[in-house]
Amino acid sequence: QGTRDHPPVQAALRERLLGTVVACFKRHGAAAIDTPVLELRETLMGKYGDNAKLIYELQDQGGELLALRYDLTVPFARYLAMNKITNIKRYHVAKVYRRDNPATTRGRYREFYQCDFDIAGQFDPMLPDAECLKIVHEILSDLQLGDFLIKVNDRRILNGVLAVCGIPESKFITTCSTIDKLDKVPWEEVKNEMVGEKGLSPEAADCIGEYVQLHGGLDLIEQLLQDPKLSQNKLAKEGLGDMKLLFEYLTLFGITGKISFDLSLARGLDYYTGVIYEAVLLQQENDHVEDLVGVGSVAGGGRYDGLVGMFDPKGRKVPCVGVSIGIERIFSILEQRVKASGEKVRTTETQVLVATPQKRLLSARLKLISELWDAGIKAEMLYKKDPTLLKQLQYCENMGIPLAAIIGEQELSDGVVKLRDVATREEVRRMPFYTRFQKSFQQL
Amino acid sequence: QGTRDHPPVQAALRERLLGTVVACFKRHGAAAIDTPVLELRETLMGKYGDNAKLIYELQDQGGELLALRYDLTVPFARYLAMNKITNIKRYHVAKVYRRDNPATTRGRYREFYQCDFDIAGQFDPMLPDAECLKIVHEILSDLQLGDFLIKVNDRRILNGVLAVCGIPESKFITTCSTIDKLDKVPWEEVKNEMVGEKGLSPEAADCIGEYVQLHGGLDLIEQLLQDPKLSQNKLAKEGLGDMKLLFEYLTLFGITGKISFDLSLARGLDYYTGVIYEAVLLQQENDHVEDLVGVGSVAGGGRYDGLVGMFDPKGRKVPCVGVSIGIERIFSILEQRVKASGEKVRTTETQVLVATPQKRLLSARLKLISELWDAGIKAEMLYKKDPTLLKQLQYCENMGIPLAAIIGEQELSDGVVKLRDVATREEVRRMPFYTRFQKSFQQL
């Protein structure tokens, strides 16, 4: 339950999707790494807050106590610390595991792919951060998912807001998780939760509300830099200064049109220390509302400068910033779209079926297909001694194979092959096999 | 222990290797499927004989009792039965898990990749089986691993041999596991084990020995078809008839030169029911003996007509034949070879570094790199505001980036970009950005 098989159609769609994402990561100079699915339990403990209960643990069968990885970020940090790597740009596409309540219609599973891109190293401010946002922008554009918005905030600004509104530091995290709901429910409800459940005073809540309902661009950053309260807070001022720099870089990238500085964005994970971001798809006029609510964010990430240090015996820090593409949600959307369009997804790449129109020609088929394979051509034949031509052509139609290479007695004695276009039924060429045959394939 | 990270160099080599294997699977018309890493424990139980103790089990944290998959074949059979699929050609490249004693120098790990290709369905005899052998032949040739031999046998022939030598059926499996050692130790030792440990009479062992020391091609098959004892055994006769057909097909494929009908091949797994095969690399003159002993078989598989039926409530059978490429062993060989050759493996695919020779040109770099990315060009820049040109060119050399696109004040005012070949230091062209710039990249 909550895990699933990926039959050929899904696997083919997934390959298409992952291909686009990985192409983008490579375009930005990332190297691939791979880490084991099994991690030591102690590596994962204390990194996910309340979510630790969702970690799958292996039975103690002797040997180390193991667990299945919960995400790709913690293993990455563990990898950096273990190998004393202080500088890398890597991507990682792999499955992670959570003992969650699966919500499969929303693309939430217990076993699912994550696609992560991260930049580790001590660099000039906001340059890697800006690249991460550019990557999100490129991928969502390349996938043609419709209009989207990338919300950006900074943990330091958020903490500054809480501080200037008089919230004690012990309540920062729990208050943030309430603020995070502002994209789904109106401010009044958020305020009620702050006051009723989290024990904030109504005045403190209103103070927070004045800030976290703001969103905008460079103008808003300038305005907050002048804000009499916020500008007095060191962390917030640092965060706002960096945010300004980030927006300058994003302007040079030409992507600020889809970026919103949004003070309500908090993101759940404890380990973020600076810029955070999350991309959401915007509703299309012709979409059903419920579909869109179901989809939610399709990418997210941020800066986590302290995580690697947690794995280093001497606590040496390696600043990191990264982004995770919500591939399962995007996959759900693509799948629905393909279903709606009635597109027939090909699950194989076969270019030609080797066929015979008469009996007793199996040897000729085996000889020809073998030469095709050796020439790098994707070819199939039916595993029958004497199939009818009709059966063979039907197979082409079912599987979307565009061509049939037909050898009958006549062709054999003439030393040629008949190449049939399955869709048009035109028998386009006769040609001597095998060398010229091969050439004509290269033109396909 | 027994699991490992794959740092960029290994991940890049692995991508190269898997690319070759998957290209072959696709050339033969296979569709990809994916199944979960987690299977129900009951699915895996009773499929692996003594090896069941090597299965990783998950802790009972509520919900179903789960285990990590041990191979890709049993999940494939479970998938076919669950979805009532009677006809498919699929490949699957994924990690499997075994609580084995890792022997990492021999490429044996607790977490490792398997690359499987299988054909399921009721077809005319030996056609899918022959294709599996062709695939092994193509992959080992494509990978240029040096000379190899594919040993072929049939469980029915082996069982026939045991029957005509008077071995009781209850001792078939244990006797087979002794026979299987014949590729590593001389016959005398094998015989001693049969008599001393397995309780066979010396006469019975000698009878077996007469057969299992045989290997050859079509001649040997013909000879055994005339064998007074063996030809009386129904199973053996069936197996020999199919073996003859298989060799006819392999002759048409032109690959019998590397195929040996070898009666000592037994293979461990219980579920094989017909043809079995295993590919081994042959020793090169310049190789050290110990390296080769360490490597062993690099591919194997066979026919398993009963496995799917074990998962079907009504026991409906789906005949299957498949092959598994021993990617970890091949990877060890490739890795050693790359190390020995001193080849510097590129871990990224970056085509160009965007560089500036003077200070205060960050904006120009950001603008140019953004246009390059949008044009699909793989580009990087240093995450520094004002890096020296030397540092930038050194980065190209370290990472194997072939080109630097340099924009200085002069270039900016002329509206051109200087394109520098990093290896030759030639500054090959100046051209106006950005449209013609893009064209020149397409020629790279």
Say yes or no: B90 contacts chain A, CB-CB below 8 A: yes
DSSP B228: T
Say yes or no: A87 contacts chain B, CB-CB below 8 A: no
Flag if A6 and B58 touch (Cβ within 8 Å). Answer: no
- Token code pair at residue A287: 């979409």
Please tell me which residue of chain A has the smallest CA distance to B32.
A8
SS3 B97: strand
What integer pLDDT is reported at residue B27 of this predicted model? 98
Q: For residue B190, give the nearest of B205, B171, B173 by alpha carbon.
A: B205
Distances (CA, A) of A389 to A63, A359, A414, A420: 60, 10, 20, 12
Q: For residue A32, give the nearest of A122, A140, A115 by alpha carbon.
A: A115
Q: Which of A53-62, A96-105, A135-144 has the highest mean pLDDT?
A: A135-144
Flag if A123 and B14 touch (Cβ within 8 Å). Answer: no
Non-local (6+) Cβ contacts of B241 within 8 A are B225
Q: How far is B192 from chain A (nearest CA, A)?
A: 35
Which residue intervals of B103-146 are DSSP H helices? 127-142
Task: Provide mean pLDDT across the span A140-157.
Answer: 95
Flag if B27 and A377 touch (Cβ within 8 Å). Answer: yes
Flag if A33 and B5 touch (Cβ within 8 Å). Answer: yes
Please tell me which residue of chain A has the smallest CA distance to B101.
A63
Start-end of CATH 3.40.50.800 domains in chain B: 352-442
Say yes or no: B124 contacts chain A, CB-CB below 8 A: yes
Flag if B373 and A127 touch (Cβ within 8 Å). Answer: no
- Token code pair at residue A104: 């499969």
d(CA B188, CA B192) in angstroms, rounded, equals 6
Q: Which of B99, B348, B376 sits opposite A29 (nearest CB)?
A: B348
Residue A36 in this model has a pLDDT that exceeds 80: yes
What integer pLDDT is reported at residue A429 of this predicted model? 64
Q: For residue B118, give the nearest of B110, B109, B128 by alpha carbon.
A: B128
d(CA A153, CA B208) in angstroms, rounded, equals 76
The answer to whether the beta carbons of residues A67 and A44 sit under 8 Å apart is: yes
Which residues does chain B have within 8 Å of residue A4's beta carbon, measured at their own beta carbons?
Answer: 36
Query: How does pLDDT run across B90-142, given as a tens digit for each residue?
Result: 999 999 999 877 666 565 678 899 999 999 999 999 999 999 999 999 999 99
**β-bridge pairing A148-154 and A259-262:** parallel
The answer to whether the beta carbons of residues B280 and B296 sit under 8 Å apart is: yes
How confident is the prediction for chain B on average, in pLDDT?
90
What integer pLDDT is reported at residue B1 of this predicted model? 61
Q: For residue B312, give the nearest of B32, B120, B43, B121 by alpha carbon.
A: B43
Residue A58 in this model has a pLDDT that exceeds 50: yes
pTM of the model: 0.89
Say yes or no: A59 contacts chain B, CB-CB below 8 A: yes
The three-state (H, E, C) secondary structure of chain A, written as one string? CCCCCECHHHHHHHHHHHHHHHHHHHHCCCEECECCCEEEHHHHCCCCHHHHHHCCEECCCCCCCEEECCCCHHHHHHHHHHCCCCCEEEEEEEEEECCCCCEHHHCECCEEEEEEEEEECCCCCCHHHHHHHHHHHHHHHHCCCCCEEEEEEEHHHHHHHHHHCCCCHHHHHHHHHHHHHHHCCCHHHHHHHHHHCCCCCHHHHHHHHHHHCCEECHHHHHHHHCCCCHHHCHHHHHHHHHHHHHHHHHHHHCCHHHEEEECCCCCCCCCCCCEEEEEEECCCCCCCHHHHHHHCEEEEEEECCCCHHHHCCCCCCCCEEEEEECHHHHHHHHHHHHHHHCCCCCCCCCCEEEECCCCCCHHHHHHHHHHHHHCCCCEECCCCCCCCHHHHHHHHHHHCCCEEEECCHHHHHHCEEEEEECCCCCEEEEEECCHHHHHHHHCC
Please state, for a pLDDT cut of 90, what percent of chain A lies above it.
73
What integer pLDDT is reported at residue A132 of this predicted model? 98
d(CA B238, CA B232) in angstroms, rounded, equals 11
- Token code pair at residue B76: 């494939």
What integer pLDDT is reported at residue B443 of this predicted model? 46
What integer pLDDT is reported at residue B349 of this predicted model? 96
Flag if B61 and A99 touch (Cβ within 8 Å). Answer: yes
Specify the CATH class of A8-341 in words: alpha beta
Query: How does pLDDT run across A177-199, given as a tens digit for each residue?
Result: 899 889 889 999 999 999 999 99
Residue A436 in this model has a pLDDT that exceeds 80: no
Per-residue confidence at B430, pLDDT binned at 50, 70, 90? low
Which residues does chain A have within 8 Å of residue B27's beta carbon, measured at their own beta carbons?
Answer: 373, 376-379
- Cα-Cα-Cα-Cα torsion B324, B326, B328, B330, nearest 10 degrees, comes to -140
Please state, for a pLDDT cut of 90, what percent of chain B lies above it.
73
Residues B129, B135, B137: CA angle, nearest 5 degrees: 110
Please state, for a pLDDT cut of 70, what percent of chain B lies above it.
91
Per-residue confidence at B433, pLDDT binned at 50, 70, 90? low
Residue B19 in this model has a pLDDT that exceeds 70: yes
Q: Which residue has the tokens 């094989």?
A: B272
Q: How far is A135 from chain B (nearest CA, A)?
A: 9
Per-residue confidence at A415, pLDDT binned at 50, 70, 90? confident
How confident is the prediction for chain A on average, in pLDDT?
90
Task: Provide mean pLDDT across the span B179-203.
Answer: 93
A98 is annotated as contributing to ligand binding: yes
Say yes or no: A34 contacts chain B, CB-CB below 8 A: yes
Determine which of A354, A370, A412 to mutate to test the interface with B (most B C-beta atoms within 10 Å): A370
What integer pLDDT is reported at residue A105 of this predicted model? 58
DSSP B226: T
Please tell me which residue of chain B has the smallest CA distance to A365.
B252
Say yes or no: B350 contacts chain A, CB-CB below 8 A: yes
Flag if A349 and B97 touch (Cβ within 8 Å). Answer: no
CB pairs under 8 A between A and B: 205
d(CA A415, CA A430) in angstroms, rounded, equals 10
Residue A343 in this model has a pLDDT that exceeds 60: yes
Q: How far is A174 from chain B (nearest CA, A)?
A: 27
Which residues does chain B have within 8 Å of residue A367's beta carbon, measured at their own beta carbons?
Answer: 252
Instruction: Provide the chain A residues 264-323 that lie in CB contact (below 8 A) with chain B.
Output: none
Q: How many CB atoms lie under 10 A from the CB of residue B424? A: 9
What integer pLDDT is reported at residue B103 of this predicted model? 67
d(CA A193, CA A178) in angstroms, rounded, equals 7
Q: Would you call the peptide bond into A211 cis, given omega within 30 degrees of 0 as the criterion? A: no
Beta strands in B84-187 (DSSP E): 88-97, 111-120, 148-154
What integer pLDDT is reported at residue A286 of this predicted model? 52
d(CA B365, CA A268) in angstroms, rounded, equals 34
Please tell me which residue of chain A has the smallest CA distance to B369.
A253
From the centroid of its chain, how far is CA B345?
Answer: 21
What integer pLDDT is reported at residue A224 of this predicted model? 97
What integer pLDDT is reported at residue B109 of this predicted model? 78
Query: How does pLDDT run across B266-317, given as a tens digit for each residue?
Result: 987 678 999 999 999 997 645 554 444 445 789 999 999 999 999 999 989 9
Burial class (CB in 10 A: 0-12, 13-18, 19+), A191: middle
Phi, psi torsion values for B260, nearest 5 degrees: -130, 120
Residue A444 in this model has a pLDDT that exceeds 50: no
What integer pLDDT is reported at residue B173 of this predicted model? 85
Task: Provide mean pLDDT across the span B37-53.
Answer: 84
Q: Which of B11, B61, B127 sits opposite A383 (nearest CB)?
A: B127
Flag if A31 and B38 touch (Cβ within 8 Å). Answer: no
Q: Which of B68-72, B256-260, B312-316 has the highest mean pLDDT?
A: B256-260
Determine which of A348, A369, A391 to mutate to test the interface with B (most B C-beta atoms within 10 Å): A348
Phi, psi torsion values for A345, nearest 5 degrees: -80, 125
> What is the CATH number assigned to the segment(s) B352-442?
3.40.50.800
Which residues does chain A have within 8 Å of residue B7's beta carbon, measured at their own beta carbons?
Answer: 33, 83
What integer pLDDT is reported at residue A289 of this predicted model? 44
What integer pLDDT is reported at residue B437 of this predicted model? 53
Task: Provide mean pLDDT across the span A106-116.
Answer: 83
Please tell me which residue of chain B has the smallest CA distance to A248.
B363
d(CA A1, CA A116) in angstroms, rounded, equals 25
B97 is annotated as contributing to ligand binding: no
**β-bridge pairing A320-325 and A352-355:** unpaired
Of B103 and A165, which is predicted with more confidence? A165
Query: How does pLDDT run across A227-271, given as a tens digit for each residue?
Result: 999 999 999 999 999 999 999 999 999 999 999 999 999 987 678
Residue A366 in this model has a pLDDT that exceeds 80: yes
Per-residue confidence at B77, pLDDT binned at 50, 70, 90? very high
Start-end of CATH 3.30.930.10 domains in chain B: 8-341
- Token code pair at residue B403: 């080109």
